[in-house]
Amino acid sequence: MVLSLGALTVRPQSGAQQPTFRGGAEIVVIDTQVVSRDGTPIEGLKPEQFEVVVDGRRRPVVSAEFVRSTRGSAVAARDPAPASAEPGTPEGRVIVLGIDEASFPVAAQFSAREAARRVVDRVAPEDHLGMVALPGGIEIAPTRDRRPIREAVSRIAGARVDAIKSRFNLSAAEATQLHTRASVVTQELICRECPGCGLRDQNCPLSLREDARAISLALEQQGMLTIANLHRFLDAMVSLPGRKTLIVVSAGLPMANHPGGRPNLDAETDRVARRAAAANINLYVFYMNVHFLRYFSPEYGKRNYSLYEDISIFGYGLEKFADSGGGAFFQIEVDSDPFVDRALRETSAFYLLAVRVEPQDRDGKEHFIRVSVKQRGATVRYRRIVSIPSGGG
């Protein structure tokens, strides 16, 4: 069977299987990455070193098969793979770059391009690499030919527009706090922005709150646009067979990181993360921190009083998305090379765990799982949702 993404195709990998029942009604297969502190896959683990919990109940691990996705180093040569290389061979990963153009200001689009270029330079020749960039509409199906990807990288564009013009010097973090009427912050901002703490111009505090509300709503709309892009990345990948990796490159998904704050996109973020887990997609999220340099650029033109809170707000939603989907989150300040190398190291091998389930697990519904390993210094990455067919599978 050949499945399509856009105009191109990719064939199933023999070593990357969707978690499902194998050979009967009692076993479910779960794939898990176990890596050391530097992201190197840990080989030689035994079934008894793993613990798998399904909906809070421990289940026996029958076998643990170590599977390599690539033949060698994760850092590839710049030359594309030979045209004769067929994607039906067992080696290689399916990797898709998802570029969230709507999160990048035009002045920072080079950051998105550079991160994407680093991935293209470093994937192994046997890997199938694709790219989706939104809202620009770039869509290239996973292929071993790097030439169309390289050409498309040069067309990645920043599409973020800061439409709210305020006469006040309000940062994103301050606007969200003021919008939720945090009393201490409200008084501090009124005293800073309004003459005589608002006593000399009684309309000033009201105007300040109105601008804070407008900025918060604009941030919420930006966050919803990023979430829509995440859904479209998944739409482009869900029909691809077997195990695949999505590397999201984004300048932020703004979300308030305090109780009752706005924008609050917890439900939407969790929904898209669950979709990724259910579709057998490994998540790697690169949060490109373009905000630090931007806030000190002449185009910004204001003093930012809460720079690090702003950086946190734009990164919080992406981190929550990665965590909910059992993925990895990396905040990148300048050089993306170490993070690209780590992501490719981590995904170069994984374990297929055969787990014995109970009759009550076989209900055709989604189940939450937890995987841990008895190995000092190990990090375990796994998708937290598994679908277990009803009956005999």
Spatial CA neighbour of 120 closest among 109, 131, 110: 131
Would you state the pLDDT for residue 175? 87
332 pLDDT exceeds 80?
yes
Please report which confidence band the pLDDT of residue 8 belongs to, taking 50, 70 and 90 as the band edges: very low
267 pLDDT exceeds 60?
yes
pLDDT digits (tens, 9 = 90+) for 272-301: 988 888 888 999 999 999 876 666 555 555
Alpha-carbon distance of 94 to 87, in angstroms, equals: 10
Would you state the pLDDT for residue 308? 81
Token readout for 18 is: 């969707």
Complete domains list, the chain, with CATH: 3-67+355-387 (no CATH), 94-161+224-346 (3.40.50.410)
263 pLDDT exceeds 70?
no
Would you state the pLDDT for residue 18? 40
Would you state the pLDDT for residue 261? 62
Mean pLDDT computed over 354-373:
88
331 pLDDT exceeds 90?
yes
Cβ burial 295-328 (10 Å sphere, 16+ → b, else e): eeeeeeeeebebeebbbbbbbbbbbbbbbbbbbb
184 pLDDT exceeds 80?
no
31 pLDDT exceeds 70?
yes
Tell me the β-bridge partners of 65. 352
Please report which confidence band the pLDDT of residue 186 belongs to, taking 50, 70 and 90 as the band edges: confident
Mean pLDDT computed over 84-113:
80
Cβ contacts of residue 301 below 8 Å, gap of 6+?
A: none
- The residue among 79 and 274 whose pLDDT is bigger is 274
90 pLDDT exceeds 90?
no
pLDDT digits (tens, 9 = 90+) for 113-163: 999 999 999 999 999 999 999 999 999 999 999 999 999 999 999 988 776
- In sign, the C-alpha dihedral spanning 336, 337, 343, 344 is positive
Would you state the pLDDT for residue 293? 66
- The residue among 79 and 363 whose pLDDT is bigger is 363
Report yes or no: 71 and 91 within 8 Å, Cβ to Cβ.
yes
Alpha-carbon distance of 362 to 189, in angstroms, equals: 56
Report yes or no: 2 and 312 within 8 Å, Cβ to Cβ.
no
Spatial CA neighbour of 40 closest among 370, 389, 378, 285: 378
